[in-house]
Amino acid sequence: MINLANFSSIFIANWKLNGNIDFIKHYYQKLTTNNKNCVVVCSPSIYLNALKIDSKNMFRGAQDVSVYREGAYTGELSAEMLEDNNINFCLVGHSERRQYFSENNETVKLKSLNLIETNIIPVICIGETLKEKETNQTKEVLIKQINESVPNISNSKNTIIAYEPIWAIGTGLTPTLEDIDEVHDFIKRIDKRFNTFKVLYGGSVKTSNSSDIVALKNVDGCLIGGASLKVDEFNSIIS
Question: Does the footprint of ligand PGA cover residue 202 (CB under 6 A)?
Answer: yes
Within positions 215 to 234, which residues make up the interface with ligand PGA, using CB under 6 A? 223-227
Q: Is 184 a catalytic residue?
A: no
Choose the catalytic residue: 94, 96, 103, 184. 94
Task: Report which residue type is found at 47.
Answer: Y
Q: How far apart are CA 217 and CA 184, in angstroms?
A: 9
Catalytic option among 96, 164, 184, 233: 164
- The conformation of residue 115, written as its DSSP 8-state character, comes to H
- Single-letter residue type at 39: V
| Residue 95 CB, nearest approach to ligand PGA (Å) | 7
Secondary structure element (H or E) that encloses residue 27, with its range: helix 21-30
Residue closest to ligand PGA when measured from CB atoms: 225
Shortest distance in whole angstroms from residue 128 CB to ligand PGA: 14
Q: State the Cα–Cα distance between residues 121 and 235, nearest whole angstrom.
A: 23
Distance CA 78, CA 211 (A): 35
Specify the stretch interacting with ligand PGA by CB under 6 A; choose among 27-35, 133-141, 177-185, 199-207.
Answer: 199-207
CB 126 within 8 A of CB 161: yes
- Minimum distance from residue 175 beta carbon to ligand PGA (Å): 12
Task: Identify the CA nearest to 190 among candidates 151, 133, 140.
Answer: 140
Q: Does the footprint of ligand PGA cover residue 190 (CB under 6 A)?
A: no
Count of CB atoms situated within 10 Å of the CB of 200 = 25
Residues 14-73 that bind ligand PGA (CB under 6 A): 14
CB under 6 A: which stretch of 60-68, 151-159, 181-189, 198-206 binds ligand PGA?
A: 198-206
- 164 annotated active-site: yes
Instruction: Return the number of other C-beta atoms located less than 10 Å from residue 204's C-beta.
Output: 20
Residues that bind ligand PGA (CB under 6 A): 14, 164, 169-170, 202-205, 223-227
The set of catalytic residues is 94, 164
